[in-house]
Structure 1
């Protein structure tokens, strides 16, 4: 009897270990030239939080933002970011058996400085936000993972009140609604969250709505946006104001019901709030602050969606641009651009607080991190 228990215990532990090895971490970089590694891929040990190098790719410039296809076979990236008179989106095939990340193709972004890409849940559409020229581009995705030519591109010229940073539109992200029937575009330059209906069956899927945008507070600088798992609430992080605005979401319309600071009261100016994500269980929200603080603000989420700050965690580096939470909600990984380090934190499911685990990864000018179980 004891031998059987021992045998099943060994099998169980082996199964857990095998299960823990199919979660991958994708890192982008402002590599500046094609001879340096542009994208690195690591395996995440979901027992210990350890990162192990898996593969990498060169020969592309400045992949500032990455996203993974719904089936995990393809990686899409904003490329030629921060490159004058350029800008593109690129596709890569990810093969776990061969341990390769292979470049497939690129398409022009139709706007300088692409900064965010999202994939429709059907895996057939890609949406890209261009920051400098304030535009959105939408592309069909072919069956082989390659990006087809642009289906639609909309550019915006309106700005807001800040004399230096808001002379024109600066679209900072492109986020599909939970059912992918709407596309939201936080526009830092115009203090608007733009919105289109999205019809996946049309050749030009972006359709104008009766409510083409939601106006934010002046000089808020809306940057990134995330939906709660219950699909009823949306949260927008405002880079310039250092605030998070909570919206009720229904039929493509956003109605603001709360606004809270991402920074401690002692911080009065110089806000550089950046990224925002919610734990899979919907109980906690996390937001990164760059500049003076370089931390992750942690909030509990009440039953009505309201936020309450419960603490801050240093990212142990400078300029945390993007972070990600794995699908289990066990780990949060932060990327620090200026110090070029990637740090793994373990989440406490009850308190929402974070604790560093494992060894830091170094990648010069690391710009983005994404996590996916495949």
Structure 2
């Protein structure tokens, strides 16, 4: 979850290739009007292959991107006044189909998930924000799940630091588990600390921590569920799993994104196929989830969500739209104005 603040700029990544059935091209930069929230397009960086996840350095001076179906990450210097980007180059990640990244708390390393080759890589970050090729590579533990296509091998899908910054959580969609690595900030190395097994065929995709309590929610893509876990000394202890879909839905759908409000009282999950956003109430201190209802997504394939400045942004990849919603106190979502048009949007970073 990104730190909450009133953003001035939005950075949009997309899928770009014919193999993805995509219509996007590179990274788009928008200025955000602080009074109205309106977006104005100010920059386009064309020719980038599948910049499918973006994240900013902690000082917001550098934007990082990983490229789906490729084997490298990119860095871009950011002008704080204008929001414009300048390329700093690319660096190899030691694997393929890189899908997610996180900047280490020290700001000296970038951790990336190599979805296609089942590994996690550490890339050094230079003083100017540029990237060096991977300096450490950790294979994912475990064995493939039962799905013959989606779980033929390891598919790490997210890099998530715990609140202490000492551990890195990596949900593995292919191995039906969440691996927890200890991170040595001085050496820039990872060591396996624990593994939480998910239900066979669940397909863990993303996770989110409660902002103040030792609770972590794991979103399972393949069986469309959220597992509530206790977080104890670098270990996930599963408590319960609840579906993200209503009981009367029998179609095909997969879960994609998870987000929590700043107070941790409401958790949102997106459903691709059902094309909705599920709202859950988090009751008490144990993170127990109770479904509150479903809101129609702005379009088909809501792959990405972000809560920023009391607004939930939802990127619907298949219909080229980004929707904005205002969360009510009870968790319901009210649409805010018209959707934003953007080709094959799959990630947004704010500054």
Q: Is the partner of 1:338 in helix, strand or coil?
A: helix
Deviation for aligned residue 1:237 = 0.4
Q: Give the one of 255, 271, 295 matched to 2:276.
A: 295
Alignment gaps of 5+ in structure 1 = 1-18
Residue equivalent to 1:346: 326
RMSD: 1.9
Task: Tell me if 1:218 matches 2:200.
Answer: yes
Contact 1:325 1:371 in 2 (8 A): no
2:302 maps to 1:320: yes
Contact 2:77 2:86 in 1 (8 A): yes
Count of aligned pairs: 341
Question: Which structure shows the higher strand fraction?
Answer: 2
Q: 2:13 aligns with which of 28, 31, 38?
A: 28
> How does the TM-score come out when normalised to structure 1?
0.86
CA 1:47–1:284 in 2, change beyond 3 Å: closer, same or farther?
farther
Q: Tell me if structure 1 keeps the 8 A contact 2:29–2:84.
A: no
Q: For 2:51, what is the secondary structure of its paired residue? A: coil
C-alpha distance in structure 2 between counterparts of 1:175 and 1:91, whole Å: 19
Q: 1:259 offset after TM fit, Å?
A: 0.8
Q: Residues 319 and 251 from structure 1, CA distance in 2 versus in 1: closer, same or farther, beyond 3 angstroms? A: same
Task: Say which is worse superposed, 148-157 or 251-260, in terms of deviation.
Answer: 148-157
Pick one of 142, 163, 170 that aligns with 2:126: 142
* Structural mapping, 1:123-134, within 5 Å: 123-134=107-118
Kept in 1, the 8 Å contact 2:179–2:192? The answer is no
Do structure 1's residue 230 and structure 2's residue 209 form an aligned pair? no
Superposed, which structure 2 residues align to 1:1-374 within 5 Å? 22-32=7-17, 37-45=25-33, 47-79=35-67, 81-82=68-69, 86-156=70-140, 158-202=143-187, 204-209=188-193, 211=194, 213-268=195-250, 270-291=252-273, 293-304=274-285, 305-326=287-308, 328=309, 330-348=310-328, 350-372=329-351
Query: In structure 2, do the counterparts of structure 1 residues 36 and 325 end up closer, same or farther at CA, with 3 Å as the change threshold?
Result: closer
Alpha-carbon distance between aligned partners in 2 of 1:113 and 1:192, rounded to the nearest angstrom: 19
CA distance in 2, matches of 1:195, 1:364: 35
CA 1:44/1:351 → structure 2, altered by over 3 Å: closer, same or farther? farther
Could you tell me which runs of 5 or more consecutive residues in structure 2 were left unpaired when the two chains were aligned: none
Give the corresponding residue for 1:9: none
CA distance, structure 2, for counterparts of residue 96 and residue 70 of structure 1: 13
Alpha-carbon shift at residue 52 of structure 1 (Å): 2.2
